[in-house]
Amino acid sequence: MPQRVDVDSKNNVRVTEVGPVGPAGYAPSGGPGESGPPELLPLTISRGLPWTNWGQFNGLPLSTISYGGFSATVAYAQAPFNAQIQNGSIPGIVFLGDGIPKRFSVTAFLTTFGPTPVDEADAEGARVVVTGHLVSLLDGSPSSVELMDEEIASVLLPGPPSDSELEELYSSNTMESTFTLSSTSAMIAIEVQIQDDSGDQFEVPVWNVALVRASIWEGEPNIIPRIDTDSPRTFRGMSFPRLSNAGFDHPESPWRMAATTNGFWVMRLKPDDDVGYTSDGSVSFSTARDEVVDGDDILFWATERLRVSEAPTHDEAVVRKLELDALQEQVDTLDPESDALPYGKLLYSKIYNDDVGINLNGTSDLTEGFSDPFLVPLGNLDSGWTDGEVKLTPPTDKIRVVMQCVGQALDGTESELNWAMRVKSTADVVSIYGGGWNRQVVGGGYDMTLRQLEVVYEVTPGVEIIWEWIMAISGGAGCRIGHVGPMLPTLTVWAA
């Protein structure tokens, strides 16, 4: 088990087991953490930070982006998370429509210490208010389930807690709820406000809000769910540096967005609330929409189409509709029996634009039929993604898996294409060919034309395998939101 050691200026030596792949203590086997039911939220939503920065404390996952040890880290390291979440929301995507009750919890608290200390007298009575909603699409009709509302975590920490206080802190500042979905998919949205003692918005430096985790799981209420590192869903958005990659704050209108396989969903929590919302970009956002539903507390609308306001105009390396068509045609018309195929026998191929909530197929021209707002979600969400799995029985001892993606950063801002895949045997699901996930970051800069990730796995002929993948576009460092163009991923498997 890899070990991490931090030494501070007071000669405090903190020794932690950083664990195998994934958050320490939450690997399905071998990790030191407590066992528990699988976490049902994607990792970036449930824990808020890339897993590469995770450590543990007594089996609890803690983000350790700073080097101050866990006590200081509790508050400081949440800054990337809370900078986006303070008085904002966490939209996520869940697929829980199985009729089984699920438990939902949020853990949050407020501190008065940090790089910009808050006057304790001013903070007296201040609290974290969490409002949660689950929005589902039942039989084609939107509806919402209130998870929690106006529940309050009010602990103020005058200074870094001792390690022994952390567990108690987690426990006393966790709000829980239970819900059941009968069918279909749903989106969860959590709104966090910091209020003063009179209920007004309280301005607190973002690093003084520790929103530690949000979890959904099945089973006993007191069991901490573990991250399932074998689930592609766990790593949805794993490369995203900020939670806002799954959300959207408009400077004037507190719309919240998320993408699902049903299309883009946009919602607004408590539209009558006079709550100031932060914004981290000057994104133009049209209120034009296909459908508006006015529920009890929620307005939202949905669409199934990616909409692009402007056609690409860059002269070179620009993704044009013809290129998208050509790529699609290339994959669709591959003849598995042909001797002329580049890598031998074709086992599987598909274009996965339909799985990312983006439907470019059937569009006659990218320059027509699109309006402004739907370019924004893709870039802002940084989450045009696809994931899934395919079962195959390879005829050879090697297979070659090729993932391709065509995309573009429309205005030259940085963007990234992140992808990962692995192949494992169904005969022994712990046997992963090729060393687990293979991951690359490609793209960036002005254009992102055809990118390809190619991995050859050694397998057992005649033994069924599962090939899993994740592919996502995300904004890189300094990427302003709303500037990543369309992507068209293709996936092929060859008997190499």
Residues that bind another protein (CB under 8 A): 3-17, 32, 56-59, 69-70, 163-164
Give whole-number Cα distances, 275 to 108, 202, 408, in Å. Answer: 19, 11, 36
User: Which residues are within 8 A (CB) of 392 and not within 5 positions of it... i.e. 6 or more apart?
Assistant: 347, 348, 399, 464, 465, 467, 493
In terms of CB distance, is 46 or 56 closer to another protein? 56
Angle at alpha carbon of residue 38, lines to 424 and 110, rounded to 5°? 130
User: Which residues are within 8 A (CB) of 386 and not within 5 positions of it... i.e. 6 or more apart?
Assistant: 352, 355, 356, 469, 470, 471, 472, 489
In terms of CB distance, is 71 or 260 closer to another protein? 71
In terms of CB distance, is 9 or 333 closer to another protein? 9
Q: How far apart are CA 127 and CA 67, in angstroms?
A: 27
In terms of CB distance, is 57 or 202 closer to another protein? 57
Instruction: Identify residue 438 by its one-letter amino acid code.
Output: N
Min separation Cβ 59 and another protein, Å:
8
Q: How far apart are CA 356 and CA 165, in angstroms?
A: 43
Min separation Cβ 31 and another protein, Å:
11
Min separation Cβ 410 and another protein, Å:
38
Q: Are strands 102-111 and 156-157 parallel, antiparallel or unpaired?
A: parallel
Min separation Cβ 163 and another protein, Å:
6
Instruction: Identify residue 437 by its one-letter amino acid code.
Output: W
Min separation Cβ 60 and another protein, Å:
10
Q: How far apart are CA 242 and CA 84, in angstroms?
A: 7
In terms of CB distance, is 61 or 205 closer to another protein? 61
In terms of CB distance, is 24 or 327 closer to another protein? 24
- Buried b / exposed e across 444-474, counting CB within 10 Å, b at 16+? bebbbeebebebebebeeeeebebbbbbbbb
Min separation Cβ 13 and another protein, Å:
5
Contact 37, 219 (CB under 8 A): yes
Min separation Cβ 69 and another protein, Å:
8
Overall residue count recorded for the chain in this entry = 496
In terms of CB distance, is 32 or 434 closer to another protein? 32
